[in-house]
Amino acid sequence: MLPGVGVFGTGLTARVIVPLLQAEGFAVKALWGRTAEEAEELAGELSVPFHTSRIDEVLLHHDVDLVCINLPPPLTRQVAVKTLGIIPPHHKSHALVMNYRKEQYWDVHHALRVIRFINDSTPQVDVFLRIHQLESGKLPRNLAFPLEPEDEVFLAIAKAMEEMVEDPIECYWLVSSFVNQLNSKHKDALQQLPKILEQYLNIEDNRLLMHLKACAAMSKLPYDLWFKKCFAGCLPESSLQRVWDKIISGSCKILVFVALEIFLTFKMKIIALTTAEKITQFLENIPQDNTDAIVSKAVDLWRTHCGTPAHSV
């Protein structure tokens, strides 16, 4: 039996997303609107049994197993902080919990200053990393110790998130919770993404796949950049946010289709390259002028192959 879905969308996006989900056999159990009136109108029009203008009530609905978020950035963040568990879905607890989060942040921040791991000149993302390390029991004994691969992933995501979120404390908790979600909920699925990418590339463009294999490039593709860092450092923040919204909503498979669409978009350029090193170098530094179109096409591919924008790995 397919999971029940809660949809967060404006009037236009809800009218597109809900029928898509229903056509694929998903039961849309709850619908959020910006106002109670909008939610009621949309629910009646789209035959959704429950409607509300409160984020909490969708997340807590007993029939909702997955959420589908398609909102402007400020509204997306309001849903994301609850979906990631940064604050509880109960509205009355928000102020108390956010105050606790701030105190927790500054307490750890102070401790790191005392032991001289950070100071006034420490870059903000490095502060985030040290706080995360201390909270997770992974703070190195000495600042001179080299960063672990997981630290590099954290920093890449933090640098991108810093461009999206102004408040440093909110930014830290979003980064920390997002990374924790990747390492827990999506850990096994992320390891399968290179193999899944090859399968879909074979379907979409076998000639391109054969070229990559002939150049011995498949094992040297920037998988860490794509699938561990979730394209942080590869895509600009405006495009990146649309991808991350879908990961937060429950699916990391969107990463495969972004990589796939990059291949399809730059097919002729890639085929003209004849070594694995040149192909990898190009893919690590793709042109930034049409990434929004790449992400839009990736979402279309995702829907084509997976059947629904709420499909998860």
Residue where one domain finishes, among candidates 183, 200, 226: 183
Domain-ending residue, one of 40, 71, 102: 71
Q: Which residues are CB-neighbours of 308 under 8 A, at least 6 positions away?
A: 20, 21, 24, 26
What's the rounded Cα separation, in Å, for the pair 207 and 178? 36
Q: What is the CATH number of the domain that holds 223?
A: 1.10.472.80
- Say which DSSP state 218 is in: G
Instruction: Tell me which long-range contacts 124-131 makes (C-beta under 8 A, separation of at least 24).
Output: 124/162, 124/168, 125/155, 125/158, 125/159, 125/162, 126/155, 128/154, 128/158, 128/171, 128/172, 128/175, 128/176, 129/154, 129/155, 129/158, 131/105, 131/172, 131/176
Residues 210 and 290 in one domain: yes
In a domain, 150, yes or no: yes
Residues 193, 289 within the same domain: yes
Give pLDDT tens digits along the chain (313 positions): 678 899 998 777 788 888 888 888 889 999 998 888 889 999 999 999 999 988 888 888 888 888 888 777 667 766 776 666 655 555 555 566 667 788 999 999 999 999 999 999 999 999 999 999 999 999 999 888 999 999 999 999 999 999 888 889 989 998 998 999 899 888 899 999 999 999 999 999 999 999 999 999 999 999 999 999 999 999 998 889 889 888 887 788 999 999 999 999 999 999 999 999 999 999 999 999 899 999 999 988 988 887 544 334 4
List the structure tokens of 240.
Answer: 């990146």
In a domain, 76, yes or no: no
Same structural domain for residues 173 and 220? no
Residues 196 and 302 in one domain: yes
Task: For residue 83, tell me if it sits in a domain.
Answer: no
Q: How many domains does the chain have?
A: 3
Answer yes or no: do 175 and 129 share one domain: yes
Is residue 8 located within the same domain as residue 63? yes
Whether residues 301 and 194 fall in one domain:
yes
Examine the domain organization and report whether 208 and 270 are in the same domain. yes
Closest by alpha carbon to 53, among 112, 88, 8?
8
Domain end among 164, 183, 202: 183
Please give the sequence-ordered ranges of beta strands (E in DSSP) within 222-301, or none if there are none.
none
Q: What are phi and psi of 215, to 5 degrees?
A: -90, 5
pTM over 0.75: no
Q: Output the domain CATH number for residue 44.
A: 3.40.50.720
Residues 216 and 162 in one domain: no
Q: How far apart are CA 112 and CA 115, in angstroms?
A: 5
Task: Please tell me whether residues 292 and 227 are part of one structural domain.
Answer: yes
209 with 179, same domain: the answer is no
Same domain, 262 and 205: yes
Range of the domain at 120: 92-183
Q: For residue 171, give the 3-state DSSP assignment.
A: helix
